Amino acid sequence: MKTTTQSIEQVSINTVRVLAADAVQKANSGHPGLPMGAAPMGHILWSEAMNYNPKNPDWPNRDRFILSAGHGCMLQYCYLYLMGYELSMNDLKQFRQLDSQTPGHPEYGLSKGIEITTGPLGQGFANGVGFAIGQYHLAARYNKPDFPIFDYKIYAICSDGDMMEGITSEAASLAAHLQLGNLIYFYDDNHISIEGSTDLTFTEDVAQRFLAYGWHVQVVPDGNDLEALSIAVKAAQAETKRPSLIKVRTHIGFGSPNKEDTADAHGSPLGPDEVKLVKKNFGFDPEKSFVVPDEVLDYYRKIGKERAKKEDEWNDLYKAYQAKYPDLAKEYELTSNGQLPEGWEQKIPVFPASDEKMATRKASGKVLNAIADSLPHLIGGSADLSPSTDTDLKNYKSFSPDNHEGRIFHFGIREHAMGAVLNGLAVTKGIIPYGATFLVFSDYMRPPIRLAAIMKIRPVFIFTHDSIGLGEDGTTHQPIEQLMALRAMPNVVVIRPADANETAQAWRVAIQHPGGPVVIVLTRQGLPVIDQEKYTKATELEKGAYILSDSEKEPDLILVGTGSEVSLLLQAQVQLKKESIAARVVSMPSFELFDRQSAAYQEKVFPKALRKRLAVEAGAEMGWYKYITDEGDILGMTTFGESAPAEDLFKKFGFTVENIVKRAKALIG
């Protein structure tokens, strides 16, 4: 009997459903319900909507797909395998197993075709906004008449859980304001979360909510209606001024006789007996597992090969573009390969000691503006705090619905979404993004910072107002534990520079740093510029810690600190010398960079035999114990701050030259 087009589509969709149930059952862990309910959406996306090349998943003009509901990742893994990506049937069988290519949530850099790491709900939704901004920005910079080099779209599947998370509201509001018409999101409206029906907690009208934001909204009442899904996607593709949400009513665990539309299909395997019933329901042999009919594999692989032709067409276009616009093509190729323009670092300013006191946030702004012309792919902004964080690029305009070439971003008071948007930008080749807010508000951004560290991508996070030196805003705004909390994250480089020149070098390290986010932590209050003719040059910052000023004789102790406290250590060193106490001063702007240095260098800075060490930092103490030995001491913060001028607070909490001298003398007896 000849198979009709409709029946091969249905058999193919049901194959995905059964594969997902099998993989979750074999792992005895996972979420079978979403893939079973959303398989028709996946089919429309991979067979009709998206442009991609399974053999070259990094093709620059591919459409991006984000599974924001990352718990349903078997949906994505199945389609990557079926379409011909570098994912095998054995990989599906190894779902959620050690060292597999198919972890429990999609992971960027692990499996080809995974655009970004999702897991915490709402992150993928907001990441897509970053992808969309990146596409518009690249198009504005590089596209020319008759050369639409970058015209891709961003697709996502989101869940009820995504819609509940606050980050989604932040990101949706921003996307509508920026008129990101290249966003097309499916909302998998299956009415089920882990605790049961979403009616327990979630009864809002999501469609009306997104209309209020300014999105283009469509509703598909039946998630199995392929024609309706196809029509909705085409309408969304035609909408260029508004992001699109397609609300699709689906049934979690579709095809499971006893668990469809129940929470049991959400976070647990269906069970061996129920999986057999699912297979019977869809016409599969209940005694066989991981079966893909030959006609299904042939059908999907042909579609994958057909989609790959889109890249062939693009390659021809790009060759003509290279010939007509060689400088732009060269620039994009350089930046997208992670290289930096030759000589850019020569633009980094050097600040003389004769300068007046300067807050490191102000120094950072001067550095940013000095290097901006040489780094055309450096773009960013702040969460409504640019006058305070000093992050505007003075010679450039803002990114807006009318100016996608703008390099200044206004994220609004949306710190959580800002972090996730930066991650979406950071995985867009050809862009180095940065974002800024107060250090205390880094708490709002911990999930995206953590995900950036997991993905080993390099957004630059600028956090100002870094201590009790914030002053009069008081306890609620003075960061105490945040600095150490950021240092606790693996694969994050945290830099707290001591003055303007260390700040300049922090930017050099951040721009050149591969494989993870960089956090630059800056002061509100003015700091003296350390004399680089008298003391060690700030270029040593790249080593994380360095001997800023050594004693003339064998030191009796080491004074070590970061940020605004380092200048106090230099003054204390002078005072101690008058009392015949020899102190070495170590500036330690980055624990992480120092820990990467050789054992010989670490011994040079902190000799094992020199165990009297005083660490001084206006933040939580706990991380310092690694460096001060059991004979050392810490001058830090063990309480929250208070509301008062910075000078009064530093005096109250003991961050004075006099107290440092006193603590040093007590340390050496």
Residues known to be catalytic: 415
Q: Establish whether 121 is an annotated binding residue.
A: yes
Q: Establish whether 365 is an annotated binding residue.
A: no
Q: Establish whether 120 is an annotated binding residue.
A: yes
* Assigned token pair, 22: 């099998």
Q: Establish whether 663 is an annotated binding residue.
A: no
Q: Establish whether 160 is an annotated binding residue.
A: yes
Q: Establish whether 192 is an annotated binding residue.
A: yes
Q: Establish whether 216 is an annotated binding residue.
A: no
Q: For residues 49-58, b (16+ Cβ closer than 10 Å) or e, as one string?
A: bbbbbbeebe
Three-state SS at 459: coil
Nearest 5°: phi and psi at 157?
A: -115, 125
Q: Hunting for tokens 């800024």 — which residue is that?
A: 436
Q: Establish whether 410 is an annotated binding residue.
A: no
Distance CA 151, CA 55 (A): 20
Q: Establish whether 416 is an annotated binding residue.
A: no
Beta-carbon contacts of 321 under 8 Å, excluding residues fewer than 6 positions away, are 144, 147, 149, 328, 329
Q: Establish whether 581 is an annotated binding residue.
A: no
Q: Establish whether 388 is an annotated binding residue.
A: yes
- Residue 132's nearest CA partner among 89, 171, 96, 106 is 171
Question: Quick check: 199 and 261 in contact, CB under 8 A?
Answer: no
Distance CA 122, CA 282 (A): 33
Beta-carbon contacts of 508 under 8 Å, excluding residues fewer than 6 positions away, are 345, 348, 542
Question: Quick check: 147 and 324 in contact, CB under 8 A?
Answer: yes
- Other Cβ atoms closer than 10 A to 374: 16
Q: Establish whether 361 is an annotated binding residue.
A: yes
Q: Establish whether 473 is an annotated binding residue.
A: yes
- Other Cβ atoms closer than 10 A to 519: 28
Q: Establish whether 71 is an annotated binding residue.
A: yes
Distance CA 48, CA 378 (A): 35
- Residue 371's nearest CA partner among 388, 346, 407 is 346
Local structure of residue 96 (DSSP, 8 states): T
Q: Establish whether 31 is an annotated binding residue.
A: yes
Binding-site residues for substrate sit at 31, 266, 361, 388, 465, 473, 477, 524
Binding-site residues for Mg(2+) sit at 160, 190, 192
Binding-site residues sit at 31, 71, 119-121, 160-161, 190, 192, 266, 361, 388, 441, 465, 473, 477, 524
Binding-site residues for thiamine diphosphate sit at 71, 119-121, 161, 190, 266, 441
